[in-house]
Amino acid sequence: MVITMQPGCPKGDVARVISALRRAGLEPRIISSDPRVVLGVVEEISPAEAERLTQDVGGLDGVEEITSFEKSWKLVSKSFKAETTQVQLGSLSVGGPEVLAAAGPCAVESRENFLETALLLHQAGAGALRGGAFKPRTSPYSFRGMGEEGLKIMAEAREITGLPIITEVLTASEVDLVARYADVLQIGTRNMQNFALLEAVGETDRPVLLKRGMMASIKELLLSAEYIVARGNWQVMLCERGIRTFETETRNTLDLSAVPLLKQYTHLPVVVDPSHAAGKRELVPALALAAVAAGADGILVEVHPRPEEALSDGRQSLRPGQFTDMMAGLRRVAAAVGRQLREAGA
Protein backbone atom coordinates (compact mmCIF):
# COMPACT_ATOMS: atom_id res chain seq x y z
CA MET A 1 0.00 0.00 0.00
CA VAL A 2 1.46 3.32 -1.04
CA ILE A 3 0.08 6.56 0.44
CA THR A 4 1.00 9.69 -1.50
CA MET A 5 0.56 12.97 0.41
CA GLN A 6 -0.18 16.30 -1.21
CA PRO A 7 2.91 18.39 -2.01
CA GLY A 8 3.62 20.81 0.76
CA CYS A 9 1.06 19.42 3.19
CA PRO A 10 1.75 20.20 6.85
CA LYS A 11 3.80 17.74 8.88
CA GLY A 12 0.87 17.25 11.20
CA ASP A 13 -1.11 15.68 8.35
CA VAL A 14 1.65 13.17 7.77
CA ALA A 15 1.84 12.40 11.48
CA ARG A 16 -1.91 11.77 11.66
CA VAL A 17 -1.74 9.35 8.74
CA ILE A 18 1.14 7.50 10.38
CA SER A 19 -0.79 7.28 13.65
CA ALA A 20 -3.86 5.92 11.90
CA LEU A 21 -1.80 3.22 10.23
CA ARG A 22 -0.07 2.30 13.48
CA ARG A 23 -3.42 1.98 15.23
CA ALA A 24 -4.22 -0.61 12.56
CA GLY A 25 -1.10 -2.56 13.57
CA LEU A 26 0.98 -1.44 10.58
CA GLU A 27 4.39 0.21 10.47
CA PRO A 28 4.53 2.70 7.56
CA ARG A 29 7.90 3.62 6.05
CA ILE A 30 8.71 6.97 4.51
CA ILE A 31 9.65 6.14 0.95
CA SER A 32 10.39 9.66 -0.18
CA SER A 33 9.81 13.09 1.28
CA ASP A 34 10.65 15.40 -1.56
CA PRO A 35 8.83 16.90 -3.42
CA ARG A 36 6.06 15.17 -1.50
CA VAL A 37 5.87 12.62 1.27
CA VAL A 38 5.18 9.06 0.14
CA LEU A 39 4.50 6.38 2.73
CA GLY A 40 4.73 2.66 2.13
CA VAL A 41 3.05 -0.15 4.04
CA VAL A 42 4.67 -3.48 3.26
CA GLU A 43 2.84 -5.79 5.68
CA GLU A 44 0.51 -8.27 4.00
CA ILE A 45 -3.06 -7.18 4.51
CA SER A 46 -6.28 -8.83 3.40
CA PRO A 47 -8.37 -7.19 0.66
CA ALA A 48 -11.10 -6.43 3.21
CA GLU A 49 -8.67 -4.71 5.53
CA ALA A 50 -7.14 -2.83 2.60
CA GLU A 51 -10.51 -1.46 1.62
CA ARG A 52 -11.32 -0.38 5.16
CA LEU A 53 -7.93 1.34 5.51
CA THR A 54 -8.30 3.07 2.18
CA GLN A 55 -11.57 4.57 3.34
CA ASP A 56 -10.32 5.55 6.80
CA VAL A 57 -6.92 6.91 5.81
CA GLY A 58 -8.13 8.27 2.48
CA GLY A 59 -10.42 10.61 4.36
CA LEU A 60 -7.63 12.27 6.33
CA ASP A 61 -6.32 15.72 5.44
CA GLY A 62 -3.33 15.91 3.12
CA VAL A 63 -3.78 12.48 1.55
CA GLU A 64 -3.74 12.69 -2.21
CA GLU A 65 -3.86 9.07 -3.32
CA ILE A 66 -3.72 5.52 -2.01
CA THR A 67 -2.57 2.78 -4.32
CA SER A 68 -1.45 -0.79 -3.89
CA PHE A 69 1.83 -2.28 -5.04
CA GLU A 70 1.45 -3.72 -8.52
CA LYS A 71 3.44 -6.83 -7.72
CA SER A 72 4.39 -8.85 -4.67
CA TRP A 73 7.67 -7.01 -4.24
CA LYS A 74 7.33 -3.61 -2.64
CA LEU A 75 10.34 -1.60 -1.44
CA VAL A 76 12.38 -2.63 -4.48
CA SER A 77 9.62 -1.81 -6.95
CA LYS A 78 9.37 1.08 -9.36
CA SER A 79 6.01 1.97 -7.83
CA PHE A 80 7.90 2.69 -4.66
CA LYS A 81 10.75 4.68 -6.17
CA ALA A 82 10.89 5.64 -9.81
CA GLU A 83 14.51 6.75 -10.27
CA THR A 84 17.31 4.19 -10.44
CA THR A 85 19.17 3.65 -7.20
CA GLN A 86 22.83 4.48 -7.58
CA VAL A 87 25.22 2.21 -5.74
CA GLN A 88 28.47 3.96 -4.90
CA LEU A 89 31.60 1.95 -5.67
CA GLY A 90 34.67 4.08 -5.08
CA SER A 91 34.27 6.94 -7.53
CA LEU A 92 31.84 5.02 -9.72
CA SER A 93 28.07 5.17 -9.35
CA VAL A 94 26.58 1.88 -10.51
CA GLY A 95 23.20 2.75 -11.97
CA GLY A 96 24.46 6.05 -13.34
CA PRO A 97 25.75 6.80 -16.85
CA GLU A 98 29.00 4.89 -16.32
CA VAL A 99 29.00 1.14 -16.87
CA LEU A 100 30.82 -1.03 -14.33
CA ALA A 101 33.32 -3.61 -15.59
CA ALA A 102 34.29 -5.78 -12.64
CA ALA A 103 36.82 -8.55 -13.24
CA GLY A 104 39.07 -11.00 -11.53
CA PRO A 105 39.82 -14.66 -11.00
CA CYS A 106 37.23 -17.08 -9.65
CA ALA A 107 39.21 -17.63 -6.45
CA VAL A 108 42.16 -15.86 -4.87
CA GLU A 109 44.81 -18.56 -5.22
CA SER A 110 48.01 -16.80 -4.11
CA ARG A 111 49.23 -13.29 -3.32
CA GLU A 112 51.48 -13.08 -6.39
CA ASN A 113 48.82 -14.31 -8.72
CA PHE A 114 46.12 -11.98 -7.48
CA LEU A 115 48.29 -8.86 -7.40
CA GLU A 116 49.56 -9.61 -10.91
CA THR A 117 45.98 -9.98 -12.14
CA ALA A 118 44.83 -6.85 -10.31
CA LEU A 119 47.50 -4.73 -11.97
CA LEU A 120 46.66 -6.11 -15.41
CA LEU A 121 42.96 -5.42 -14.90
CA HIS A 122 43.57 -1.92 -13.58
CA GLN A 123 45.69 -1.25 -16.63
CA ALA A 124 42.94 -2.51 -18.93
CA GLY A 125 40.35 -0.24 -17.34
CA ALA A 126 38.44 -2.49 -14.93
CA GLY A 127 36.22 -0.60 -12.50
CA ALA A 128 36.35 -3.14 -9.67
CA LEU A 129 38.13 -6.35 -8.70
CA ARG A 130 36.30 -9.58 -7.98
CA GLY A 131 37.72 -12.70 -6.38
CA GLY A 132 36.61 -15.43 -4.00
CA ALA A 133 38.10 -16.02 -0.57
CA PHE A 134 35.25 -18.21 0.68
CA LYS A 135 34.05 -20.52 -2.09
CA PRO A 136 30.84 -22.54 -2.03
CA ARG A 137 31.66 -25.92 -3.52
CA THR A 138 29.28 -28.64 -4.62
CA SER A 139 31.66 -31.31 -3.34
CA PRO A 140 32.99 -31.24 0.24
CA TYR A 141 36.40 -32.27 -1.06
CA SER A 142 37.00 -29.33 -3.45
CA PHE A 143 39.18 -26.27 -2.76
CA ARG A 144 37.13 -23.88 -0.64
CA GLY A 145 39.21 -20.76 -0.87
CA MET A 146 41.91 -19.11 1.22
CA GLY A 147 39.53 -17.58 3.76
CA GLU A 148 40.63 -14.46 5.65
CA GLU A 149 44.09 -14.73 4.09
CA GLY A 150 42.42 -14.25 0.72
CA LEU A 151 40.52 -11.22 2.00
CA LYS A 152 43.79 -9.63 3.10
CA ILE A 153 45.32 -10.17 -0.32
CA MET A 154 42.33 -8.50 -1.96
CA ALA A 155 42.60 -5.57 0.43
CA GLU A 156 46.26 -5.22 -0.54
CA ALA A 157 45.28 -5.22 -4.21
CA ARG A 158 42.85 -2.39 -3.49
CA GLU A 159 45.63 -0.43 -1.80
CA ILE A 160 47.79 -0.78 -4.89
CA THR A 161 45.21 -0.22 -7.61
CA GLY A 162 42.62 1.92 -5.90
CA LEU A 163 39.91 -0.43 -7.22
CA PRO A 164 37.07 -1.51 -4.93
CA ILE A 165 36.78 -5.25 -4.25
CA ILE A 166 33.79 -7.55 -4.55
CA THR A 167 33.79 -10.88 -2.76
CA GLU A 168 31.32 -13.51 -1.70
CA VAL A 169 30.10 -14.12 1.82
CA LEU A 170 28.69 -17.57 2.56
CA THR A 171 27.12 -17.46 5.99
CA ALA A 172 25.52 -14.94 8.31
CA SER A 173 28.23 -15.56 10.88
CA GLU A 174 30.97 -14.48 8.47
CA VAL A 175 29.33 -11.23 7.33
CA ASP A 176 31.23 -9.05 9.80
CA LEU A 177 34.57 -10.58 8.88
CA VAL A 178 34.05 -10.17 5.15
CA ALA A 179 32.64 -6.66 5.56
CA ARG A 180 35.88 -5.61 7.31
CA TYR A 181 37.78 -6.12 4.04
CA ALA A 182 35.33 -6.01 1.14
CA ASP A 183 33.72 -3.05 -0.58
CA VAL A 184 30.87 -5.14 -1.94
CA LEU A 185 29.36 -8.25 -0.34
CA GLN A 186 28.38 -10.78 -2.97
CA ILE A 187 25.54 -13.25 -2.36
CA GLY A 188 26.13 -16.23 -4.63
CA THR A 189 23.61 -18.09 -6.75
CA ARG A 190 23.26 -20.97 -4.25
CA ASN A 191 22.50 -18.53 -1.43
CA MET A 192 19.89 -16.36 -3.13
CA GLN A 193 17.26 -17.85 -0.84
CA ASN A 194 19.43 -18.17 2.27
CA PHE A 195 17.16 -15.77 4.08
CA ALA A 196 19.25 -15.52 7.25
CA LEU A 197 22.22 -14.43 5.14
CA LEU A 198 20.09 -11.91 3.22
CA GLU A 199 18.96 -10.35 6.49
CA ALA A 200 22.51 -10.28 7.82
CA VAL A 201 23.86 -8.32 4.83
CA GLY A 202 20.74 -6.17 5.02
CA GLU A 203 21.95 -4.96 8.39
CA THR A 204 25.37 -3.84 7.18
CA ASP A 205 26.16 -0.58 5.38
CA ARG A 206 28.05 -2.35 2.60
CA PRO A 207 26.74 -2.50 -0.97
CA VAL A 208 25.45 -5.96 -1.88
CA LEU A 209 25.71 -7.80 -5.20
CA LEU A 210 22.82 -10.29 -5.22
CA LYS A 211 23.19 -13.02 -7.80
CA ARG A 212 20.09 -14.64 -9.22
CA GLY A 213 19.70 -18.28 -8.25
CA MET A 214 20.43 -20.47 -11.23
CA MET A 215 16.88 -21.71 -11.07
CA ALA A 216 15.19 -18.71 -9.53
CA SER A 217 12.52 -16.69 -11.25
CA ILE A 218 12.74 -12.93 -11.67
CA LYS A 219 10.03 -12.61 -9.06
CA GLU A 220 12.01 -14.61 -6.53
CA LEU A 221 15.12 -12.54 -7.21
CA LEU A 222 13.20 -9.37 -6.45
CA LEU A 223 11.72 -10.85 -3.27
CA SER A 224 15.20 -11.84 -2.13
CA ALA A 225 16.35 -8.27 -2.72
CA GLU A 226 13.33 -7.17 -0.73
CA TYR A 227 14.71 -9.13 2.27
CA ILE A 228 17.89 -7.03 2.16
CA VAL A 229 16.21 -3.69 1.61
CA ALA A 230 13.59 -4.40 4.28
CA ARG A 231 16.45 -4.49 6.80
CA GLY A 232 17.55 -1.02 5.80
CA ASN A 233 20.29 -1.60 3.23
CA TRP A 234 19.23 -0.07 -0.08
CA GLN A 235 22.62 -0.42 -1.78
CA VAL A 236 21.74 -3.58 -3.72
CA MET A 237 22.83 -4.57 -7.23
CA LEU A 238 21.01 -7.44 -8.92
CA CYS A 239 23.04 -9.83 -11.05
CA GLU A 240 21.82 -12.08 -13.87
CA ARG A 241 24.25 -15.00 -14.22
CA GLY A 242 22.47 -17.68 -16.23
CA ILE A 243 19.68 -20.10 -15.44
CA ARG A 244 19.43 -23.85 -15.72
CA THR A 245 17.80 -25.18 -18.85
CA PHE A 246 17.95 -28.31 -20.97
CA GLU A 247 20.73 -26.88 -23.17
CA THR A 248 24.10 -28.43 -22.36
CA GLU A 249 26.38 -26.56 -24.79
CA THR A 250 26.65 -23.77 -22.23
CA ARG A 251 27.04 -24.18 -18.48
CA ASN A 252 23.83 -22.21 -17.97
CA THR A 253 21.61 -20.13 -20.25
CA LEU A 254 22.20 -16.40 -19.87
CA ASP A 255 18.76 -14.82 -19.60
CA LEU A 256 19.33 -11.34 -21.00
CA SER A 257 15.60 -10.65 -21.07
CA ALA A 258 16.07 -10.26 -17.32
CA VAL A 259 17.83 -6.95 -17.94
CA PRO A 260 14.95 -5.00 -19.53
CA LEU A 261 12.45 -6.85 -17.31
CA LEU A 262 14.23 -5.88 -14.10
CA LYS A 263 14.66 -2.33 -15.36
CA GLN A 264 10.89 -2.22 -15.75
CA TYR A 265 10.10 -3.67 -12.31
CA THR A 266 12.73 -2.24 -9.98
CA HIS A 267 14.86 0.81 -9.27
CA LEU A 268 17.88 -1.31 -8.35
CA PRO A 269 20.81 -1.43 -10.80
CA VAL A 270 21.36 -4.61 -12.80
CA VAL A 271 24.67 -6.22 -13.70
CA VAL A 272 25.37 -9.32 -15.77
CA ASP A 273 27.90 -12.13 -15.28
CA PRO A 274 28.42 -13.79 -18.67
CA SER A 275 31.31 -15.99 -17.48
CA HIS A 276 29.35 -18.33 -15.22
CA ALA A 277 26.47 -18.46 -17.68
CA ALA A 278 28.57 -19.39 -20.71
CA GLY A 279 31.15 -21.57 -19.03
CA LYS A 280 33.38 -21.10 -22.08
CA ARG A 281 35.66 -18.11 -22.42
CA GLU A 282 35.20 -17.73 -26.16
CA LEU A 283 31.52 -16.81 -25.66
CA VAL A 284 32.10 -14.21 -22.94
CA PRO A 285 33.00 -11.09 -24.97
CA ALA A 286 29.95 -11.39 -27.26
CA LEU A 287 27.65 -11.81 -24.27
CA ALA A 288 29.25 -8.94 -22.36
CA LEU A 289 28.64 -6.63 -25.32
CA ALA A 290 25.07 -7.90 -25.57
CA ALA A 291 24.49 -7.24 -21.87
CA VAL A 292 25.52 -3.61 -22.19
CA ALA A 293 23.47 -3.21 -25.37
CA ALA A 294 20.47 -4.60 -23.45
CA GLY A 295 20.87 -1.89 -20.82
CA ALA A 296 22.89 -3.53 -18.05
CA ASP A 297 24.60 -1.21 -15.57
CA GLY A 298 27.67 -3.38 -15.44
CA ILE A 299 29.30 -6.67 -16.17
CA LEU A 300 31.21 -9.11 -13.99
CA VAL A 301 33.72 -11.37 -15.71
CA GLU A 302 36.33 -13.91 -14.74
CA VAL A 303 39.90 -13.21 -15.88
CA HIS A 304 42.95 -15.28 -15.04
CA PRO A 305 46.54 -14.64 -16.20
CA ARG A 306 46.96 -18.37 -17.00
CA PRO A 307 43.52 -19.99 -17.11
CA GLU A 308 44.94 -23.48 -17.59
CA GLU A 309 46.46 -23.25 -14.10
CA ALA A 310 43.33 -21.94 -12.36
CA LEU A 311 42.09 -24.03 -9.42
CA SER A 312 38.49 -23.43 -10.51
CA ASP A 313 36.58 -22.09 -13.51
CA GLY A 314 39.65 -21.92 -15.76
CA ARG A 315 37.59 -22.93 -18.77
CA GLN A 316 35.49 -19.79 -18.54
CA SER A 317 38.19 -17.30 -17.54
CA LEU A 318 39.31 -14.76 -20.12
CA ARG A 319 42.99 -14.34 -20.81
CA PRO A 320 44.23 -10.79 -20.08
CA GLY A 321 44.52 -9.97 -23.79
CA GLN A 322 40.96 -11.07 -24.40
CA PHE A 323 39.81 -8.85 -21.56
CA THR A 324 41.59 -5.83 -23.04
CA ASP A 325 40.02 -6.46 -26.44
CA MET A 326 36.60 -6.90 -24.86
CA MET A 327 36.96 -3.60 -23.02
CA ALA A 328 37.56 -1.82 -26.32
CA GLY A 329 34.37 -3.35 -27.69
CA LEU A 330 32.45 -2.47 -24.55
CA ARG A 331 33.47 1.16 -24.84
CA ARG A 332 32.03 1.35 -28.35
CA VAL A 333 28.79 -0.42 -27.46
CA ALA A 334 28.35 1.61 -24.27
CA ALA A 335 28.69 4.78 -26.34
CA ALA A 336 26.16 3.44 -28.85
CA VAL A 337 23.54 3.17 -26.08
CA GLY A 338 24.42 6.50 -24.48
CA ARG A 339 26.57 5.14 -21.66
CA GLN A 340 30.30 5.17 -21.07
CA LEU A 341 33.13 3.10 -19.70
CA ARG A 342 35.94 4.72 -17.80
CA GLU A 343 39.24 5.14 -19.63
CA ALA A 344 41.83 2.43 -19.10
CA GLY A 345 43.86 2.99 -15.96
CA ALA A 346 42.00 6.21 -15.20
Nearer to its own copies, 64 or 199 (CB): 199
**Distance in Å, CB of 270 to its own copies, minimum:** 11
Nearer to its own copies, 6 or 329 (CB): 329
Instruction: Report which of 162, 116, 83, 82 is spatially closest to residue 345, judged by C-alpha positions.
Output: 162
User: d(Cα 45, Cα 173) in Å, to the nearest integer?
Assistant: 33
- Beta strands (DSSP E) in 107-159 are 128-130
Cβ neighbours for 262, distance < 8 A, ≥ 6 positions apart: 218, 221, 222, 238, 240, 268, 270
Query: Which residue number, 86 or 253, has a Cβ lying nearer to its own copies?
Result: 253
Our CA angle for 53, 54, 58, nearest 5°, is: 115
Of the two residues 129 and 236, which places its CB atom closer to its own copies in the complex? 236
| Whole-number Cα distances in Å, 180 to 149, 154, 155, 174, 183 | 13, 12, 10, 10, 9
Q: What angle do CA 164, 318, 143 make, to 5 degrees?
A: 75
Element (H, E) at 92: strand 92-94
Min dist CB 52 to its own copies, Å, is 19
Question: In whole angstroms, how close is the CB of 334 to its own copies at the nearest point?
Answer: 8
As measured in angstroms, the least distance from the Cβ of 232 to its own copies is 12
Dist CA 60 CA 9 (whole Å): 12
User: Least distance in Å: CB of 124 to its own copies?
Assistant: 19
CB nearer its own copies, residue 118 or residue 200: 200
Output the smallest distance, CB 58 to its own copies, in A: 22
| Identity of the residue, 67 or 257, whose beta carbon is nearer to its own copies in the bound complex | 257
